[in-house]
Amino acid sequence: MLTSFKSSSSSSEDATTETPPPPFCQLASSSSSSAATSASHHLRRLLFTAADFVSQSNFTAARNLLSILSLNSSPYGDSTQRLAHLFTKALSLRINRLQQEQDPTVATCTTNEMTMSTNSTVFTSSVCKEQFLFRTKNNNSDFESCYYLWLNQLTPFIRFGHLTANQAILDATETNDNGALHILDLDISQGLQWPPLMQALAERSSSPNSPPPSLRITGCGRDVTGLNRTGDRLTRFANSLGLQFQFHKLVIVDEDLPGLLLQIRLLALSAVQGETIAVNCVHFLYKFFNDDADLIGHFLTVIKSLNPRIVTMAEREANHGDHSFLIRFSEALDHYVAIFDSLEATLPPNSRERLTLEQRWFGKEIMDVVAAEATERKQRHRRFEIWGEMMKRFGFVNVPIGSFALSQAKLLLRLHYPSEGYNLQFLNDSLFLGWQNRLLFSVSSWK
């Protein structure tokens, strides 16, 4: 894990019609044979044609195509075959749900039954399996925690967001007069983001002209036990650095936005005088996006009332929240084509951890985008342009990401994910991570 941070500062609208965007970009590597490239393109076109049939309620034609796709896809094939396998299952589930709505007497499988077929966890060794099962104890939240750790280790997606957001916070608080920093982390998970920043803050105290830094983190999450574990780990690490540190937990109950807003308002009332506040929204805001933008509007208004020095935001570059099924499907297919191609290029063909991530983590996301409807959907990502407009509408100003953050991200990719496919771009004063010609994630900062 990279732990070095610089403390000094460095100098659209989505489519809304039912017509889908142009067919999918070619992301096959230059080493692929023309036959493999053609087969990949053909499979993706079949998937979109099947989705088009589903959108027209032509379930017979859709099922015929899905039968062909099922025979030509596999969770153990190349990246295109593995992706087709998951999208085929998701489309099948969508058909089942739609038919159930039309005729409640039709026997259909449930979401759990559909996902169980892609939820088998596989391991490279019996020791790994024993450690995993001992850790999880059949607890779903523990399973999610393990997959999150694998995602953090095997891909740059999470670490890119953490690294860049941390540098933005350090840059924004370098001139903090009293050295007291309070971070509100709206989805702290296992707290992986914060040890590098804590180390950088501790190093600031070596300057005789700077006041001793102190850090308070309020971590939000749904699991009280998990939050307590995270707080204990961060406290032990802070003690090892000699850093003044406090951890507070803020429990979110079932994505209860009104309850969360109330707790944030109470947090504002209890703020310590002179304390600098930073709000961290890494892969979080999309959860509250709705068509009218009223939920996210209320949330941003409350965040603004905290008068934070900096607000960091990391989001997917995908339009998974569009009301049009075909647009969502096309966006999801292009996005996960790039994700799966990056995994194919950077991990060994027999990587069991990669297979598990594809089936359990990304497969669950695909099932949500394709098969779920209305309020059931959790994956409501929007592109940076939409987020930028919304942040400005509620009074936030974009703070440019510093050039040192770009250097850190380049170092991350070079040391841990060496592949020519990944690329970094500065756009609209924000930093983007992409694969080939497809942007995947953005990190921006606001005040």
Question: Does the pLDDT at position 283 exceed 70?
Answer: yes
Q: Do 220 and 169 belong together in one domain? A: yes
- Looking at 24-33, 247-256, 292-301, 392-401, which range is the least confident one? 24-33
Question: What are the residues whose beta carbons fall under 8 Å from the beta carbon of 270, sequence distance 6 or more?
Answer: none
Mean of pLDDT over the chain:
82
In a domain, 311, yes or no: yes
- Which one-letter amino acid corresponds to residue 18? E
Domain count, the chain: 2
Long-range contacts, 31-34 (Cβ 8 Å, 24+): none
Q: Do 113 and 134 belong together in one domain? A: yes
- Looking at 172-186, 187-201, 331-345, 390-404, which range is the least confident one? 172-186
Burial of 103 (0-12, 13-18, 19+ CB in 10 A): exposed
Question: What are the residues whose beta carbons fall under 8 Å from the beta carbon of 317, sequence distance 6 or more?
Answer: 335, 381, 383, 384, 432, 434, 439, 440, 441, 442
Residues 250-272: tens digit of each pLDDT:
888 766 767 777 788 777 666 67
Instruction: Tell me what pLDDT residue 431 has.
Output: 98
Instruction: Tell me what pLDDT residue 400 has.
Output: 97
In a domain, 436, yes or no: no
- What is the mean predicted confidence (pLDDT) over 297-317? 93
In a domain, 417, yes or no: no
Instruction: Tell me what pLDDT residue 143 has.
Output: 77
Residue among 434, 325, 301, 443 nearest 377 (CA): 325
- What is the mean predicted confidence (pLDDT) over 171-194? 89
At residue 273, what are phi and psi to the nearest 5 degrees?
-60, 130
Instruction: Tell me what pLDDT residue 304 has.
Output: 93
Residues 312-370: tens digit of each pLDDT:
999 999 999 888 999 999 999 999 999 999 999 988 888 888 999 999 999 999 999 99
- What is the mean predicted confidence (pLDDT) over 75-83? 91
Q: Do 392 and 255 belong together in one domain? A: yes
In a domain, 437, yes or no: no
Instruction: Tell me what pLDDT residue 210 has.
Output: 66
Instruction: Tell me what pLDDT residue 12 has.
Output: 36
| Cα–Cα distance for residue pair 76/195, rounded to 1 Å | 37
Please give the helix or strand (H or E) that residue 35 lies within, else none: helix 34-55
Residue among 315, 273, 307, 314 nearest 447 (CA): 307
Contact 427, 384 (CB under 8 A): yes
Q: Do 44 and 129 belong together in one domain? A: yes
pLDDT band for position 33 (50/70/90)? very low
Instruction: Tell me what pLDDT residue 232 has.
Output: 97
Q: Do 143 and 119 belong together in one domain? A: yes
Q: Do 387 and 264 belong together in one domain? A: yes
In a domain, 164, yes or no: yes
Domain, as residue range, for 83: 34-154+323-375
Q: Whole-prediction pTM value? A: 0.83
In a domain, 179, yes or no: yes
Q: Do 131 and 172 belong together in one domain? A: no
Q: Do 175 and 290 belong together in one domain? A: yes
pLDDT band for position 23 (50/70/90)? very low
Q: Do 309 and 341 belong together in one domain? A: no
Instruction: Tell me what pLDDT residue 118 has.
Output: 41
Q: Do 344 and 308 belong together in one domain? A: no
CATH label of the domain that carries residue 238: 3.40.50.150
Q: Give the residue carrying structure tokens 């709705």.
A: 290
In a domain, 48, yes or no: yes
* 395 Rama sector, left if φ>0, alpha if ψ -120 to 50, beta otherwise: left
Coil/strand/helix, residue 428: coil
Residues 107-156: tens digit of each pLDDT:
555 444 444 344 444 433 333 343 333 343 445 567 788 899 999 999 99
Question: Does the pLDDT at position 95 exceed 50?
Answer: yes
Question: Does the pLDDT at position 178 exceed 80?
Answer: no
Q: Do 106 and 165 belong together in one domain? A: no
Instruction: Tell me what pLDDT residue 222 has.
Output: 86
pLDDT band for position 169 (50/70/90)? very high
Q: Do 168 and 295 belong together in one domain? A: yes
| Cα–Cα distance for residue pair 427/238, rounded to 1 Å | 35
